[in-house]
Amino acid sequence: MEQYVIKGGNPLVGEVEIGGAKNAALGILAAAIMTDETIVIDNLPDVQDINVLLEAISVIGARVDRINRHKVAINGSMIGQVSVDYEFIKKIRASYYLLGALLGKYKRAEVPLPGGCNIGSRPIDLHLKGFKALGANVSIRHGSIIAEAEKLRGKHIYLDTVSVGATINIMMAASMAEGYTIIENSAREPHVVDVANFLNSMGANIKGAGTDVIRIRGVQKLHSTEYSIIPDQIEAGTFMFAAAATKGDVMVKNVIPKHLEATTAKLVEIGCEVEEFDDAVRVVASKRLNSTHVKTLPYPGYPTDMQPQIVVALALAQGTSIVTESIFENRFKYVDELTRMGATIKVEGNSAIIYGTEGFTGARVSAPDLRAGAALVIAGLAAEGITVVDDIVYVQRGYECFEEKLRSLGAEIERVTTEKEIQKFKLRVG
């Protein structure tokens, strides 16, 4: 089992390049099978979740050619089955995007129902509500969702909760439905817009992505395209908070600063200097951070995927902060781990009350999920002494070359698998 071993205390200084957005890529890869022509996708992050979805796509019969680490060609003309294996949905929930993609293209899809996950119970009722509204029969048999229709017909669909996944899934199916679909109360996240732009570049007719009303005129066929995925706003935000927590000075390059506005606003509020350039942001933290209050919200609000990272920074700030998680029910699991490093945090319902401390001390901790894992790494970088983060397989699901990028900023971090390697690291860093 791989772990990170970290010697904390170095301020992160330098430049870091951000990769393509994982959560946009997941939707885009699924949508790529909706034509029989070849699709080329660039700026693909080379992370576990993406590689699992590519495998799922190739197992149903699509041709997947990895042109290089960040570029892939997909051809969906040879798809022989519209059912996705449980093995994939178990590894990565977003395999459910194949439901919308297969239903749109073949009018039939069979995908296992994803179970709960580490950040809470995650229903997909809204996805199914959307497919039903488009005229599909949706049933659950033997653990799988079976969606089928003779014809999909455009419909006015209202989403009761703002959902990234439901918006993307319905948008895909509706792109190949007959007539006009309106999705109201749709998610406005940059990755929703990126999937819509991608589908439009394949010949779909989607308007309004990025607002809360998306209008889709169905088309009969989609065609080939070449598309480059937007930068990952959460990877960028993670490095921004790593700079803040270590009192560093980091230029985060290849980003769209507009997508980072909520993160930037909070960093400024807690006392960092943030300079925006055309496609970069520089974060400088020269003094102890201040406390603040934060509530996670759908975009353009403060992202839930940046919640653990800000908690780490606030746990080191002067004063008391309150962070309220309004999207997922179980996203404070990492707090107990952070407490082992010296943080003082009390979780009450969906809020964490954080009493700032002067500093953390390194400890052995476990990553409970992807973003919390990244946040524990930030905590380790800011802590005095050695931190070992277990279960980093979660972090690898969404961050490409995380430790290499951190090392290039002056962090002392290594990926290890044995106790002996940890001892060697300790001897080396003194």
Residues that bind ligand EPZ (CB under 6 A): 23, 26, 94, 122-127, 161, 163-166, 187, 304-305, 327-328, 370-371, 398
Minimum distance, C-beta of residue 234 to ligand EPZ, in the bound complex (Å):
6
Q: Is 126 exposed, middle or buried (0-12, 13-18, 19+ CB in 10 A)?
A: buried
Nearer to ligand EPZ, 22 or 247 (CB): 22
Minimum distance, C-beta of residue 372 to ligand EPZ, in the bound complex (Å):
9
Minimum distance, C-beta of residue 412 to ligand EPZ, in the bound complex (Å):
26
Measured CA to CA, the distance from residue 146 to residue 110 in angstroms comes to 5
219-223 LR contacts (CB < 8 Å, sep 24+): 219/175, 219/176, 220/176, 221/35, 222/34, 222/35, 222/37, 222/175, 222/176, 223/35, 223/37
Minimum distance, C-beta of residue 370 to ligand EPZ, in the bound complex (Å):
5
Nearer to ligand EPZ, 76 or 165 (CB): 165
Parallel, antiparallel, or unpaired: how do β-strands 38-42 and 71-75 relate?
antiparallel
DSSP 272-299: -EEEE-SSEEEEE--SPPBP-EEEB-ST
Residue 401 annotated among the catalytic residues of the structure: no
Nearer to ligand EPZ, 163 or 225 (CB): 163
Measured CA to CA, the distance from residue 372 to residue 256 in angstroms comes to 23
Nearer to ligand EPZ, 164 or 174 (CB): 164
Please identify the residue of the shown chain whose CB is closest to the bound ligand EPZ. 165
Measured CA to CA, the distance from residue 396 to residue 415 in angstroms comes to 11
Minimum distance, C-beta of residue 303 to ligand EPZ, in the bound complex (Å):
6
Q: Contact at 8 Å (CB) between 30 and 169?
A: no
Residue in 67, 78, 117, 353 annotated catalytic = 117
Nearer to ligand EPZ, 371 or 405 (CB): 371
Q: Which residues are catalytic?
A: 117
